[in-house]
Homo-oligomer: A and B are copies of this chain.
Amino acid sequence: MGMRHKDENKSEAIFQATVQLLNEIGFSDISMSKIARRANVSSATIYVYFANKEDMLGKLYIKAKEKMGRQAVEGLLDSMSMQAVCERYMRNSMKFILDNPDYFMFLEQFATSPLMDKLCLEDIALLFAPLHELMEKGKRQGELKPLATLLLLAYCYLPVAQLAKAHFKGQLEATEELLQQIIRMSWDAVRA
């Protein structure tokens, strides 16, 4: 008789249910029992996988952020020009967001909440390390403005997020043309 394994599907179902509900009703109204109902498990089952609510939300954030991070830095090569790096990073980000709107909206909500402060984000920082190093190199080589990388990346990421949000709200459409325009603008902002 083999040992019993945690059912990976169950933990995944719990994650999915949480992300969905967060987007539907928001942080202030989700509850463990609503999540359990949506995931088709018992409330008690959630505690098989997570210590408590905060633990669950934190792990979900990290999971989502990692997924996003992995896609965001995909295909970034040392051999690329800085302009190509920025473009690739922006296109990667936009693709992830349009493919995973629920994850994105969840990340946005969570990122502004005080729960963020209790999280250990070292692993995520590692994920973005290659991008950071590229930017540092770009600054050293005089291709980028000599500014905190945090801000350089903000000029690349935030317009993408803003365009996506406007897209989801129906205010404008995230066309390839618009994407090209903001890629150009961001580059104008960060280039030396």
A positions within 8 Å CB-CB of B? 23-28, 30, 105, 108-109, 111-115, 145, 147-148, 150-151, 154-155, 158-159, 162-163, 166, 171-172, 178, 181-182, 185-186, 188-191
Contact B113 A189 (CB under 8 A): no
Complex alpha-carbon distance, A185 and B188, angstroms: 8
Count the copies.
4
A6 to chain B minimum Cβ distance, whole angstroms, is 15
- Within 8 Å by CB of A189, from B26, B151, B172, B185, lies B185
Chain B residues with Cβ under 8 A from A147's Cβ? 178, 181-182, 185
Complex alpha-carbon distance, A30 and B181, angstroms: 41
Contact B113 A28 (CB under 8 A): yes
Chain B residues with Cβ under 8 A from A27's Cβ? 26-28, 113
Complex alpha-carbon distance, A114 and B147, angstroms: 35
Chain B residues with Cβ under 8 A from A181's Cβ? 145, 147, 151
Contact B28 A115 (CB under 8 A): yes
**Given the interface contacts A162-B158, A171-B150, does A28 sit within 8 Å of B25 by beta carbon?**
no
20 contacts between A and B (CB under 8 A): A23-B114, A24-B114, A27-B113, A28-B113, A28-B115, A105-B112, A147-B182, A148-B166, A148-B172, A150-B166, A150-B172, A151-B185, A154-B158, A154-B159, A154-B162, A155-B155, A158-B159, A158-B162, A188-B189, A189-B189
- Within 8 Å by CB of A115, from B26, B158, B159, lies B26
Contact B150 A159 (CB under 8 A): no
